[in-house]
Structure 1
Amino acid sequence: MGLTRSIFGFASNGCSTARILSSSSSSSTLFNRFTRLSPPAHRCLPTPCRSPSFFIRQINMQAQSIAARLSSSGILQTKGLIGGNWTDAHDGKTFEVSNPATGEVIANIPCMGGKETNDAITSAYDAFNSWKKLTAADRSKRLRKWYDLIMAHKEELGQLITLEQGKPLKEAIGEVSYGAGFIEFAAEEAKRVYGDIIPSPLPDRRLFVLKQPVGVVGAITPWNFPLAMITRKVGPALACGCTVVIKPSELTPLTALAAAQLSLEAGIPPGVVNVVMGNASGIGEALLNSPKVRKITFTGSTAVGKKLMAGSAETVKKVSLELGGNAPCIVFDDADLEVALKGTLATKFRNSGQTCVCANRILVQEGIYSKFADSFLKAVQDMKVGEGFGEGVVQGPLINEAAVQKVETLIQDAVSKGAKVVLGGKRHSLGMTFYEPTVITDVKNEMRISTEEVFGPVAPLLKFKTEEEAIHMANDTNAGLAAYIFTTNVQRSWRVSEALEYGIVGVNEGLVSTEVQLLFSLLFVLVASKIV
């Protein structure tokens, strides 16, 4: 997405452009990543009676009240976690975490770096020796308790996500349930990390393989899903017997700290889960350089992912990367218009378009283009924009000013090359980083808005004639994360799914990354109803 501030900072725009696909198809692969084999309130038009300044004052009061409640409940933590101890930076430095809806500072957090990260690595390494020796059943019980605690605090965690990330509260609470699902799944699968018996070419021998934890895992996570991106990495790692050092985004560290607090309450021993944040390059270099860290798992920009992959080679670490997307959403003439409209809106505007699997390009066949565009425009026009705690709000602010500026740049480039803004296309009257939901027509596949990940509430509409043309347009990118198809022709659904060069293909479905049981980077087709 291009928000990378330094080599490891703001990694977490969720994405740029890259193709990271896995050939694995078994749910056990989720755990193989962490094991080694031994041996081998407000519509688009402003409400006239309230000014943005009044709106922000109201938010400030509400946000302060929520932050106070979270602090008194113990959910809001403002220090790093190393070896089970809440810790300041060694030099006392801090950085601010702000509410993107208002710019108001929520908390001052320790600005940690290489020293604190090395301390966390040592704690994780020491804890690994005992954690890996626990039975799978014991680890499973503790993970299950962690899941239960996350769900028991679902409302508070949702409020915290909205406070520091900005997404609507309903979405934030949904993320908590989604994120907790990774812990629940890992708790169950911890008991099923089986070995293998392999036939030997020699008559008097038997070969067997034991799966053992790799060791300390460095987990670098993004800001767009500040809980779920942690649990999907940490849950499987802990289930296998690994320990972790988490580096959350500097933009949303509070959710990570809250999750870590609940892990301690669940009986996960000190040192098994550690959290450091602050100096991104210092933290990243420490994770890469330490021979005690045996695996790096990262979600974020392609630029940072490349550096992590290269840096991991020095100590031969295992690496898992979830990088950028440029998802096409293809609507064929034979699509059920209502299903296509609902699915496209969901995949484009969830989290204000700040997801790496959201539709970046909406390709509509010419026979249905005008009808779809009219219905889509009306639906987007009715979207309520506002701060995440507002009733009925479906679009919150963008994460920061850099995100807004990128959206503006891409729209300006498209307009200069012949595209037309038919809705939105400018900052919202609410101010701050609110941006109007935007629809652009006459978009060409070679425009930057088609080739780069937008990461904002902007829907470019492109027209195509034939199935072959749609496939060519969809595959004309360096990204390969997710794609979407809307059609009522079952033969076409299979044919196009196989032709698309993407890791995830949703058929008549706009939400494809919510299936905990299906690994995110695998090639699968999510088939919904309306196929005839």
Structure 2
Amino acid sequence: MTKQTENSPTVGTEKDYPKIGLFLNGEWIYDRESYADVINPSNERKLARVPKASDADLQCALKAAEKGFVIWRDTPPQQRVAIIQKAVKLARERIDAIATILSLENGKPFDHARAEIDRSMNFFEWEMGQALRAYGMIVPGAPQMQKFIIRQPIGPVFAVTPWNVPMSSAARKTSAALAAGCSVVLKPAEETPGTACELVRCFEEAGLPPGVLNLVLGDPAHISSTLIASPVIRMVTFTGSVHVGKHLTQLAAREMKPVLMELGGHAPVLVGADVNATEVGRISALAKTRAAGQICASPSRFIVHRNSYADFVSSFAETLNELRVGDGLERGVEMGPVANVRRLAAAQALVDDARNRGATVAAGGQRLGEQGYFFAPTLLTDVPLDADVMTIEPFSPVAACVAAESLDKAISIANSLPVGLAAYAFTNSLEEAEQIGRRLECGVLSINHFDTPDADTPFGGVKETGIGREGGPTSLDAYLVTKTILQSTVKV
């Protein structure tokens, strides 16, 4: 049975959670009506109230971003980098305190929260370098004609981030936007605003000019429709579900505004016939339960060659049953709760549907305890391909496993969905690896491991998983526009 911790020593308390406010034009605002409560998913207790931005607040955010953009755009890149460096230094000095906040509002184990913050600072450090390499070009021309191609910041950016990686996603977007010279209106998820507030506070104390980075909270639909419709906002970036991403893209399209969308996935894992299936099963279980399966790159559909199937399933289930589940601030916890009661219900519905269609529950399959949103790490085996868990992104610690007779069949199953973000494969055959790399429909493929891209490599998907890439050598492209200047030297 899965181990659930009880009364273990903790690394922080709910008293460490900050007051939540709006941040507009360099000032914190707390005295607004309440929109929602921040709930600790480990015990269902209220951590803080989320203020609701009024229409006047949203107009203030727009005016601030407009003025801030002019200031930041004309700030030399070296000076921009110096301010970003100060903010990163502050965040790294406060990493334990911010990790405690992240764990309280999101539920993930403290060590995992700390790792997320540390990795997120890599994004800023990468984009600082990119800011100094946003080169233009000189094109050969006729005598007395100079042709310049320069790259300039696109303008104020509206950035919307999710609750599952509250620091990572906010860092992805603000790092590139600020490095490029854009101002930002950031709207974090109302479930996890504390982490974003701490990131903004680091920039405030680092000396970022007022209006360059603003934070709003409240009714997501109203905020999005208001800000996207404004001519001030020049670009929209979002990480979240396919459904919401399509809606925001439609709003932006009406105003002819570009978008950067990183949407849902349902990552397949192909396991070959020639691998150590017991070891692959063990590390698959650990990868599946990272962040309780609530990340867009989480491995979800395990498509295993028939020859490896039995050993893989046995090892996977055994590892899940040994995991320690509990409050993320308790020492020794390996998996925390799911984020909210909706995810708890969704996980149970996936299990029940698969069981009703003939799948076997090899591990877990139910809620743990009566307080907190804990769901047992779950493995479903012999899952029919039409089961909901094979077609709907689980976003929970629920894994589905099916057997495949051949690589062709495995790839066919993997490519059968309209999304394609991350994918994983385990094989000792170079021929199979080449085929998988060429034929699998995804934006990121990891072979023989479960790591995902860091700041120096692009992250994003294909098909309905979104538009554009974050990170890597093209990381600033979405935040820059290209201008061609044709300058005659003939006196007029």
Same fold by TM-score greater than 0.5: yes
- In 2, Cα distance between equivalents of 1:151 and 1:242: 24
1:430 Cα deviation after fit:
5.5
Confirm or deny: 8 A CA contact 1:245 1:276 kept in the other structure. yes
Cα 1:522–1:198 change in 2 (3 A) is farther
- In 1, Cα distance between equivalents of 2:202 and 2:438: 42
Residue 333 of structure 1 corresponds to 273
- In 1, Cα distance between equivalents of 2:229 and 2:30: 23
Residue 175 of structure 1 corresponds to 116
Residue 382 of structure 1 corresponds to 322
The one of 520, 527, 530 aligned to 2:459: 520
Confirm or deny: 8 A CA contact 1:128 1:243 kept in the other structure. yes
- In 2, Cα distance between equivalents of 1:199 and 1:475: 46
Confirm or deny: 8 A CA contact 1:404 1:433 kept in the other structure. yes
Confirm or deny: 8 A CA contact 1:128 1:242 kept in the other structure. yes
Residue 135 of structure 2 corresponds to 194
Instruction: Summarize the alignment of residues 135-150 of structure 1 with structure 2, pairs less than 5 Å apart.
Output: 135-150=76-91
1:316 aligns with 2:256: yes
1:108 aligns with 2:66: no
Residue 44 of structure 1 corresponds to 2
Cα 1:397–1:46 change in 2 (3 A) is closer
- In 1, Cα distance between equivalents of 2:326 and 2:34: 33
- In 2, Cα distance between equivalents of 1:454 and 1:522: 18
- In 2, Cα distance between equivalents of 1:183 and 1:346: 28
Task: Give the secondary-structure state (helix, strand or coil) at the position aligned to 2:420.
Answer: coil
Residue 433 of structure 2 corresponds to 493
Confirm or deny: 8 A CA contact 1:113 1:282 kept in the other structure. no
- In 1, Cα distance between equivalents of 2:219 and 2:461: 33
Confirm or deny: 8 A CA contact 2:272 2:426 kept in the other structure. yes
- In 1, Cα distance between equivalents of 2:126 and 2:278: 33
Question: Match of 1:365, as an amino acid?
Answer: H
Confirm or deny: 8 A CA contact 2:35 2:219 kept in the other structure. no
Residue 473 of structure 2 corresponds to none
1:156 aligns with 2:88: no
State the Cα RMSD in Å.
Answer: 2.0
Residue 5 of structure 1 corresponds to none
1:327 Cα deviation after fit:
0.6
Q: What per-residue deviation string (whole Å, max 9, x for no partner) do you get for residues 120-159 of structure 1?
A: 1110111111111111111011111111111111111111
1:337 Cα deviation after fit:
3.4
Question: Match of 1:461, as an amino acid?
Answer: C
Q: What per-residue deviation string (whole Å, max 9, x for no partner) do you get for residues 162-213 of structure 1?
A: 000000001000000011111111112211111122345x566442211001
Residue 16 of structure 1 corresponds to none
- In 2, Cα distance between equivalents of 1:445 and 1:196: 52
- In 2, Cα distance between equivalents of 1:328 and 1:466: 15
- In 2, Cα distance between equivalents of 1:458 and 1:317: 37
Residue 66 of structure 1 corresponds to 13
Q: Percent identity?
A: 32
Question: Match of 1:135, as an amino acid?
Answer: P
- In 1, Cα distance between equivalents of 2:382 and 2:346: 20
Cα 1:139–1:342 change in 2 (3 A) is farther
Q: What per-residue deviation string (whole Å, max 9, x for no partner) do you get for residues 243-299 of structure 1?
A: 000000010011111110011111111111100011111111111111000000000
Residue 220 of structure 1 corresponds to 160
Q: What per-residue deviation string (whole Å, max 9, x for no partner) do you get for residues 59-83 of structure 1?
A: 9xx69x6343x36xxxx34211000
Cα 1:134–1:86 change in 2 (3 A) is same
- In 1, Cα distance between equivalents of 2:461 and 2:412: 22
- In 1, Cα distance between equivalents of 2:409 and 2:105: 42
- In 2, Cα distance between equivalents of 1:103 and 1:246: 27
Cα 1:173–1:45 change in 2 (3 A) is closer
Residue 480 of structure 1 corresponds to 420
Task: Give the secondary-structure state (helix, strand or coil) at the position aligned to 1:357.
Answer: coil
1:322 Cα deviation after fit:
0.4
Cα 1:46–1:164 change in 2 (3 A) is closer
Residue 24 of structure 1 corresponds to none
The one of 163, 179, 193 aligned to 1:239: 179
Task: Give the secondary-structure state (helix, strand or coil) at the position aligned to 1:226.
Answer: coil
Task: Give the secondary-structure state (helix, strand or coil) at the position aligned to 1:293.
Answer: coil
Structure 1: tracts of 5 or more residues without a match: 1-42, 525-532
Aligned length: 463
Residue 466 of structure 2 corresponds to none
- In 2, Cα distance between equivalents of 1:364 and 1:394: 25
Residue 223 of structure 2 corresponds to 283
Residue 6 of structure 1 corresponds to none
- In 1, Cα distance between equivalents of 2:323 and 2:182: 44
- In 2, Cα distance between equivalents of 1:325 and 1:250: 22
Residue 65 of structure 2 corresponds to 124
Confirm or deny: 8 A CA contact 2:325 2:334 kept in the other structure. yes
The one of 22, 42, 52 aligned to 1:80: 22
Question: Match of 1:81, as an amino acid?
Answer: F
Task: Give the secondary-structure state (helix, strand or coil) at the position aligned to 1:158.
Answer: helix
Cα 1:204–1:246 change in 2 (3 A) is same
TM-score by length of 1: 0.84
Task: Give the secondary-structure state (helix, strand or coil) at the position aligned to 1:192.
Answer: coil
Question: Match of 1:83, as an amino acid?
Answer: N
Residue 262 of structure 1 corresponds to 202
- In 2, Cα distance between equivalents of 1:501 and 1:77: 44
Question: Match of 1:489, as an amino acid?
Answer: S
Confirm or deny: 8 A CA contact 2:278 2:315 kept in the other structure. no
- In 2, Cα distance between equivalents of 1:246 and 1:458: 31
